[in-house]
Chains A and B, each alone.
Chain A
Amino acid sequence: MTVSAAPPLLRTLVAVEDLRVRFGRAEVVRGVSLAVRAGECVAVVGESGSGKSVTARSLLGLAGPGSTVTAGSFRIGGRDALRFGQADWRRLRGRFAGLVLQDALVSLDPLRTVAAEIAEVLAVHDVVPRARRRDRVLELLASAGVPDPEARAGQRPHELSGGLRQRVLIASAIAADPELIIADEPTTALDVTVQAQILRLLAERKAAGTALLLISHDLAVVASIADRILVMKDGRVVEEGPADEVLSDPRHPYTRTLLAAVPSAASRGTRLSAPGTPVPPRPVTDVQVLAGTGLTRAYGTRKAVDGVSFSLREGETLGVVGESGSGKTTLARLALGLLEPDDGRVTLLGRPWSGMPERARRPLRSRVQLVSQDPLGSFDPRHTVGRLVAEPLGLPRRERRDRVLDLLERVGLPPELAARHPRELSGGQRQRVAIARALGPRPDVLICDEPVSALDVSVQAQVLDLLADLQAEYGTAMLFISHDLGVVHHVSHRVLVMKDGRAVEEGEAGQVLTRPAHPYTRALVAAVPKLGSAQRNASPSKSPEERHSSMNRK
């Protein structure tokens, strides 16, 4: 008897050749070929507008209204999808393949209970007789890691935490025991520890034999779970291969750019948008510009910020990390003087800043400026970019114009943008406008509240490089708030870790984020998805410690 050494031939669940999707004249997917075999995880990675989501949805016949889908060949579940009618697609959806979308708060019907949403799949495909559906729903919730399913079943998405909601969404996708799960950005907008839990849950499903098609903008997220990776750009697959090969030995320049653009400990001191080139030195002086002592602020009985102290020196970036609800944004508002502390005090440039009448504060207002996550929300949509940037300057008309053009140039925007409206700009351009506006009054302190969280990784890289350049040139101190440890590690001189309103750890960025002392910081650092050896190979560089000492010498 001979034992075959060859791996077992895996059944192909989906195989599509030359997939094209058009919306009107615009072709958003331009000849994509991909296959998913039973039990494997294929990841499609790309930035917004790369066509990755449309590709994934086309596999379920859900490309969207107004779309035209064509393909050279398209087989799914052993059948020819090119001949499918609506009824064929419906039999497939939920039963053969389940879909998990981003943000369960809106991806589950907010008006219906969790149990009703999951039971719907069971009812549509008549998987379980009506009488046993409730039991099955509870089993599914438990298997998706939802504690106390009995109590949760009757709740609605808004009553659950982000992580629990996402588990419910996964429970509804696996309810009819599909052979394939299509997960479109399943962990985006989740806190890093919750993201790690959801990835673990998906990995468990994969281990149980379910194939996984994972869509993400984040290479690090897919690194831990994908067997094969497809990199998409402008509707085409630019690179494809086994996960470790794509990550450690990327062939296509775009893949290399993507990998290099991920901020981390290893990328400190270098440009993210131009790997290998150093950012100009950002020296820190001993002059304290902003400080808070024993800050406490409660909303009702809950203390959003509880006894937090910090200090910020000229030219320094203090990174504030923590998960949602940890009090980061409240701290920012206290620092901006938009909120009065219940206890403790804030000083700005050595003068009292909190507890002052607004009249006394106004002359100092221009010294502290804000860059927020969603600049569109902080812009008057009827104003032009020029007017938005000019607003805080208060200069005579003629000088104002020159200064606006100068500021736009400083943040890398062409002068003709001054006449446009914010909604005509891309996300990256909007954030540049927000930075130009904040820099206008030449502030001593810039408060950045999740400034890059809504941006694609390559755009994020450009904005982070810009902030570093500006800090090097003007010596502006920055309070940099982010939930992304990689970003914070990349930009910060020092780091403050917040949990439940308290500062649990503070110190040099390299120290805190590579050798965390507090258990919570350790949990946070451990939960960050890693690219493994991939990134170091892509842009060889020194260890964080070496880097750190070189930073201090500057």
Chain B
Amino acid sequence: MIRRLLAGVAVMWAAATAAYLALLLAPGDTVDILVGDGPDTPEIRAGIIAEWGLDRPEVVQYLAYLGRLLRGDLGRSYQSQRGVGEILAGQVWPTAQLTLAAAATGVALAGVIALVTAGRGRWSRTAASAAELVSVSVPPFLVGIVLLSVFSFTLGWFPVSGAAGPEALVLPALALGLPIAGVLGQVLRDGLERALEQPFAVTARARGLTERALVARHALRHALLPVVTLAGWFTGTLLGGAVITEVLFGRPGLGQVAMQAVTGGDLPVVMAVVLLSAVVYVTISTLLDLAYRVIDPRVRA
């Protein structure tokens, strides 16, 4: 557990350093980059140099930057002239809503499809595999556009954009969650079928268990192991996917913030988003690691 925490800290440090190096290595004068498209006067330039300590050696600047991060000071945005922490705080919740809803949609769909089709006839299997393949291969923005044109523009069931109320969450969550459902569904079904062929499944059947009880009490747990491993990887894609999906559906959130910050060269904000992603990634993979230990107690040995 202590090792796990140390690894987490190392990842955070690496992310902070990488973000800092990116800033240093970015083409052009650092001051120009920091100024970005904002107002450019000698006073502002002097202010920037003073605030970032650009007249000091790079190592000192880097350490000062790490020191500020440790105190929780993320710096100020050059576009909106507000604290970066304050900007992010306002946008985290809509993104969290979207990613959680997408993850739930993906896992739920995958579970239903896998449980219904595992070990069944060839037709239902083939149909499910095909659907999964399509959902995995089609990029989320295309899924989003199709969903929008069918359910919003044509049928008018859901709002076209915004984040007002749960109806506005349905389509973005689907667009982001479908590829997850595709991959997880496939992995889960394979895992279930493999577990159902194991000798212990024969033993369990020989005890008089129904197939449903066999899946629920034995096979599902075995099938969850690869799913949990994959879920860690999906965390990364969910955050990346959220950027596109939020822009497409006109939702507020970190995606929008990151988009504007990147196009406007607002590097303090970009760096903060990178750091936040690293925090989320480390937290979730630690949680999944714990889940893995609960599912498969042999891991402890």
Contacts of A93 in B (CB 8 A): 205-208
Q: Are A101 and B202 closer than 8 Å at their CB atoms? A: yes
Chain A min CB distance to B199 (Å): 4
B200 beta carbon closer than 8 Å to chain A: yes
Smallest CB gap from A89: residue in B: B208
Q: Are A124 and B198 closer than 8 Å at their CB atoms? A: no
Q: Are A99 and B203 closer than 8 Å at their CB atoms? A: yes
Q: When A and B form their complex, what is the total count of cross-chain residue pairs whose Cβ atoms lie within 8 Å? A: 72
Contacts of B204 in A (CB 8 A): 109, 120
Q: Are B206 and A99 closer than 8 Å at their CB atoms? A: yes
A57 beta carbon closer than 8 Å to chain B: yes
A243→B298 CA distance, assembly (Å): 43
Q: Are B208 and A121 closer than 8 Å at their CB atoms? A: yes
Do A94 and B222 form a contact, CB below 8 Å, given A108-B200, A111-B297?
no
A-contacting residues, B187-224, CB 8 Å: 198-200, 202-210, 213, 217-218, 221-222
Smallest CB gap from A159: residue in B: B301
A65→B203 CA distance, assembly (Å): 15
User: Interface readout for A95-133 with B: 1 if CB under 8 Å, 0 if not?
Assistant: 101110111001111111000000011001100000000
User: Interface readout for A374-406 with B: 1 if CB under 8 Å, 0 if not?
Assistant: 000000000000000000000000000000000
Q: Are A90 and B206 closer than 8 Å at their CB atoms? A: no
Do A124 and B298 form a contact, CB below 8 Å, given A101-B199, A108-B203?
no
A60 beta carbon closer than 8 Å to chain B: yes
Residue from the list A91, A107, A109, A169 in contact with B208, Cβ < 8 A = A91
A169→B205 CA distance, assembly (Å): 14
Q: Are B200 and A62 closer than 8 Å at their CB atoms? A: no
User: Interface readout for B278-301 with A: 1 if CB under 8 Å, 0 if not?
Assistant: 000000000000000001111001
Residue from the list B119, B208, B295 in contact with A124, Cβ < 8 A = B208
Q: Are B222 and A120 closer than 8 Å at their CB atoms? A: no
A156 beta carbon closer than 8 Å to chain B: yes
Do A101 and B203 form a contact, CB below 8 Å, given A156-B297, A156-B298?
yes
Contacts of A109 in B (CB 8 A): 200, 203-204, 218
Tell me the interface secondary structure of chain B in the complex: helix
A172 beta carbon closer than 8 Å to chain B: yes
Contacts of B198 in A (CB 8 A): 106
Tell me the interface secondary structure of chain A in the complex: mixed
Contacts of A108 in B (CB 8 A): 200, 203
Do A94 and B208 form a contact, CB below 8 Å, given A109-B218, A111-B222?
yes
Contacts of B222 in A (CB 8 A): 111
Smallest CB gap from A64: residue in B: B202
A62→B202 CA distance, assembly (Å): 8
Contacts of A98 in B (CB 8 A): 206
B-contacting residues, A147-184, CB 8 Å: 156, 158-159, 169, 172-173
Q: Are B209 and A120 closer than 8 Å at their CB atoms? A: yes
Residue from the list A107, A111, A156 in contact with B203, Cβ < 8 A = A107
Smallest CB gap from A116: residue in B: B217
Residue from the list A62, A65, A106 in contact with B206, Cβ < 8 A = A62
A-contacting residues, B213-259, CB 8 Å: 213, 217-218, 221-222
Q: Are B301 and A172 closer than 8 Å at their CB atoms? A: no
Contacts of B202 in A (CB 8 A): 57, 62, 99, 101, 107
Q: Are B209 and A90 closer than 8 Å at their CB atoms? A: yes
A527 beta carbon closer than 8 Å to chain B: no
A111→B217 CA distance, assembly (Å): 10
Contacts of A16 in B (CB 8 A): none
A92 beta carbon closer than 8 Å to chain B: yes
A173→B217 CA distance, assembly (Å): 18
Do A124 and B209 form a contact, CB below 8 Å, given A111-B295, A111-B296, A158-B301?
yes
Smallest CB gap from B200: residue in A: A109
Smallest CB gap from B211: residue in A: A86
A347→B124 CA distance, assembly (Å): 64
A162→B218 CA distance, assembly (Å): 22
Contacts of A124 in B (CB 8 A): 207-209, 213
Q: Are A172 and B203 closer than 8 Å at their CB atoms? A: yes
Smallest CB gap from B119: residue in A: A65
Chain B min CB distance to A95 (Å): 6
Q: Are B298 and A94 closer than 8 Å at their CB atoms? A: no
Do A95 and B208 form a contact, CB below 8 Å, given A111-B221, A112-B218, A156-B298?
yes
The 7 nearest A-B residue pairs measured at CB: A99-B206, A94-B207, A94-B208, A93-B208, A107-B199, A109-B200, A90-B208
Q: A90-B208, A111-B295 are in contact. List 13 more A-B contacts (CB 8 A).
A: A62-B205, A62-B206, A93-B205, A94-B206, A94-B208, A99-B206, A106-B199, A109-B200, A109-B204, A124-B208, A124-B213, A125-B208, A158-B301
CB<8 Å pairs between A and B, sample of 27: A62-B202, A90-B210, A93-B205, A93-B206, A93-B207, A94-B207, A95-B208, A102-B199, A107-B199, A107-B203, A108-B200, A109-B200, A109-B203, A109-B218, A111-B222, A111-B296, A111-B298, A120-B209, A121-B207, A121-B208, A124-B207, A124-B208, A124-B213, A125-B208, A156-B297, A156-B298, A172-B203
